[in-house]
Amino acid sequence: MNGLRLFHVSEEPDIRVFEPRLPARKDLDPDVGLVWAIDEAHLPNFLTPRDCPRVAYHVGPQTTDEDRRRFFTSPENSYAVVIEAGWFSVMRDTTLFLYEFDPRDFRLQDGIAGYYVAEKTQIPVKKHVLTDLYGELLRKKVELRVTENLWNIADAVKESTLNWSLCRMKNAVMRRTK
């Protein structure tokens, strides 16, 4: 895991210890507690307020040139995050804390999402404070889009060759228009 950086993203400023928690996901063993982390490459998926509904997508090995042109405004970009307009000011005013972990106890759980899990208690090795989420996304060369309705872009990326993630969609104000 040379060079691998893993993080837990939170709005809580003072987490000192991460205890394994039993997963709610049906595809995981309900009796094995886990500490979850995200790799650095997929960090843009989580650089929003926790409850902010969002669609994140990025280029993967199977992504076609047509989908690159269709979903990105510039050929240099390969990652995008789309949020609802109602979350614009909330995101502007949110501070996030990135708790960085030593990756040795972690194993890959989902390569497309960048999820890693550990079964042991974790103590962060470093804490990063992010007060400008828009600036952080731009520094990571992420296209940021703001829209009234997330469902149209969500449906489109699910049918594309992009790697995608839909987060907190139950909090979306607008519903599908189709």
CB-count burial class (<10 Å; 0-12, 13-18, 19+) for 54? buried
Local confidence band at 1 (pLDDT 50, 70, 90 cut-offs): low
Tokens of 84: 């609802």
User: What secondary structure does DSSP assign to 122-149, as a single string?
Assistant: B--SEEEEES-HHHHHHHTT-EEEEES-
pLDDT digits (tens, 9 = 90+) for 157-166: 999 999 999 9
Q: Is the pLDDT of residue 143 over 80?
A: yes
DSSP-derived 3-state class of residue 93:
coil
Q: Is the pLDDT of residue 177 over 60?
A: no
pLDDT digits (tens, 9 = 90+) for 15-30: 999 999 998 888 888 9
Q: According to the model, what pLDDT value does residue 175 have?
A: 66
33-40 mean pLDDT: 97
At residue 62, what are phi and psi to the nearest 5 degrees?
A: -90, -5
CB-count burial class (<10 Å; 0-12, 13-18, 19+) for 93? exposed
Q: Is the pLDDT of residue 101 over 70?
A: yes
Local confidence band at 116 (pLDDT 50, 70, 90 cut-offs): very high
Kindly give, in sequence order, each residue whose CB lies less than 8 Å from that of residue 111, ignoring residues fewer than 6 positions away: none
Q: What 8-state DSSP symbol labels residue 71?
A: H
List of E strands, 11-78:
35-39, 54-58
pLDDT digits (tens, 9 = 90+) for 52-87: 999 999 999 999 999 999 999 988 899 999 999 999
CA 160, CA 24: separation in Å to the nearest integer? 28
Higher pLDDT, 173 or 97: 97
Q: According to the model, what pLDDT value does residue 26 have?
A: 87
Local confidence band at 173 (pLDDT 50, 70, 90 cut-offs): confident
How many other CB atoms are there within 10 angstroms of residue 84's CB atom? 21
Q: Report the amino acid identity of residue 55.
A: V
119-126 mean pLDDT: 98
Q: According to the model, what pLDDT value does residue 90 have?
A: 97
